[in-house]
Amino acid sequence: MTVVAGLARRASRARNATTRSAPKGNGNVNGKRILLIIGGGIAAYKCLELIRRLRERGVAVRVVLTRAATEFVTPLSVGALTNERVLTSLFDLSDEQEIGHIRLSREADLLVVAPATADLLARMAGGHADDLATTVLLATDKPVLAVPAMNPHMWTHAATRRNVDRLAADGIEFLGPNEGEMAEGGEVGLGRMAEPHEILAAIAERLGGASGASAALAGRRVVVTSGPTHEPIDPVRYIANRSSGKQGHAIATAAAAMGAETVMVSGPTNLTDPAGVATVHVETAREMLEAVEAALPADVVVCAAAVADWRVADAAGSKIKKSKGKPVPKLDLVQNPDILRTVAELDAKRPPLVIGFAAETDNVVANAKKKLRTKGCDWIVANDVSAGTGVMGGDRNSVHLVTAKGVEDWPRMSKDEVARRLMERISKGVAKLRGAK
Ligand code: C5P
């Protein structure tokens, strides 16, 4: 979780502590206006997806590209997505009657700077106004969300730390950066720009109103498990798996965006906690079960975590030492609790809709049908994770929804899209249950 600063308005209002918490809406952003300032970094390409998604939700997006940003995305592609003239320099505003920089900076509900590069943050912190982006940022009276992306060393450099601290004190909100592999050179660390769905959730959290179609799950409580579990061998070693948590986090994000009160119980991942989701961080399967039970009652439980099936019977209290001549240690494994089955077998507290995932490498649908019976859940989302599909850790998924009524084969799509579709199905399922009551 790397939200650096609390939510706040610009300098003039920043000191008032009562304005520093985000208004909680139901995520409906229809009709809102965003001014997106795209900085010059490789992550700029993610803004195209962000714009597309904002537009899908009825958000008007106007874009300012810094000069460097035009090296990464073109005004033409951005303009095609926003359906608005893309602004790249102060001279674009030469017709001041049409749209001046003051008006431009104030007619949006929120300004989003993404990617917020080290240089752009430094110029913002210094109060520069030597191009359209910085001028607009200096002139605005609206909240600003900065989404940094840079090399990990640049992010941790004392100069960037100073700039971020100063901007946070000025009331700028930060989302990310995330930890992970950099686009350039395969370097790993803190510096990846937050994903479009995370930015979208942060925007929805900030601007989401109190009515509209996206309130389909308002008043409902959804619990989601996500990520892997880590099962200790000793204090420094553990058994884990390759789950990234992307699918589970996307489901929690989608649930919150539809107005559900959402709790996500997550094992260790490199992802940012989704905005508007109460996230409980756990390490082991037993901790995950405990946290899920504590989060009940709920209307829906979605078990998307890749829970380790086994744990070491007696994890060592201190580091197991290797020494010459000593036999290689043997790991005595015992079964972990099955969270999905435990929840599905509850009596009074059983949620009306319990959904599991089945990651399979062979006979995907047949195994998922079997799992539906053995686990006692209502739906299974089955996916093929065999080598070469790139599903484990990747951004795309191709799933089959298995219910008592039959099997739906969904086309290959992004994990975010799977999450949105699933939540739409869930909201219909919940509405039917409501009708049946
Ligand atoms: O048995 P298998 O691991 O294939 O089942 C997958 C489904 O069961 C997933 O929904 C997963 O989150 C859930 N599960 C669980 N607790 C376990 C093992 C799996 O909740 N110990």
Indicate if 216-436 has the same CATH topology as 11-207: yes
Question: What Å distances lie between residue 257 and 199, 201, 410, 420, CA to CA?
Answer: 12, 7, 22, 9
> Is residue 111 helix, strand or coil?
strand
Alpha carbon separation from 58 to 24, 168, 203, 301 (Å, rounded) = 19, 29, 13, 29
pLDDT value of residue 434: 54
- Environment class of 94 (CB within 10 Å of its CB; exposed 0-12, middle 13-18, buried 19+): exposed
CATH class of 216-436: alpha beta
**Cα gap 302→261, rounded to integer Å:** 14
Instruction: Give the closest residue (by CA) to ligand 1 atom 9.
Output: 357
| pLDDT score for 20 | 27
Nearest-atom number in ligand 1 for the CA of 360 is 4
Domain ranges of the chain: 11-207, 216-436
Q: Pick from 78, 21, 20, 68: which is nearest to 47 by CA?
A: 78
pLDDT in tens, 171-219: 899 999 998 877 766 778 899 999 998 999 889 888 875 434 467 888 8
Nearest to 228 by CA among 170, 141, 305: 305
The pair of structure tokens assigned to 365 is 């649908």
CA distance 315 to 75: 57
Pairing type for strands 399-403 and 406-409 reads antiparallel
Concatenated DSSP letters of 286-325: HHHHHHHHHH-S-SEEEE--B--SEEETT--SSPPPP-TT
Check: pTM over 0.95? Answer yes or no: no
Q: Which atom of ligand 1 is nearest to the CA of 337?
A: 21
Among 241, 292, 302, 307, name the best residue to mutate to test ligand 1's pocket (greatest count of ligand atoms within 8 A of Cβ): 307
The residue among 134, 138, 164 whose CA lies nearest residue 12 is: 138
Instruction: Give the residue whose CA is nearest to atom 6 of ligand 1.
Output: 358
For the chain, what is the radius of gyration of the CA atoms? 23
Q: Look at residue 120 in the predicted model and tell me its pLDDT.
A: 98
* Atom from ligand 1 closest to the CA of residue 359: 4
Superfamily covering domain 11-207 = Flavin prenyltransferase-like (3.40.50.1950)
Q: Is there an atom of ligand 1 within 6 Å of 225 CB?
A: yes
Q: Report residues of the chain scoring pLDDT below 50.
A: 1-24, 98, 210-213, 436-437
CA distance 28 to 309: 39
Q: What residue's CA is closest to ligand 1, atom 13?
A: 340
Distance CA 380, CA 187 (A): 37
According to the model, what pLDDT value does residue 211 have? 39
Tracing tokens 């958000």 back to the chain, one arrives at 59
Which bin fits 109, alpha (ψ -120 to 50), beta or left (φ > 0)? alpha
Task: Give the pLDDT confidence score for residue 353 in this predicted structure.
Answer: 97
Give me the pLDDT at residue 58, please: 82
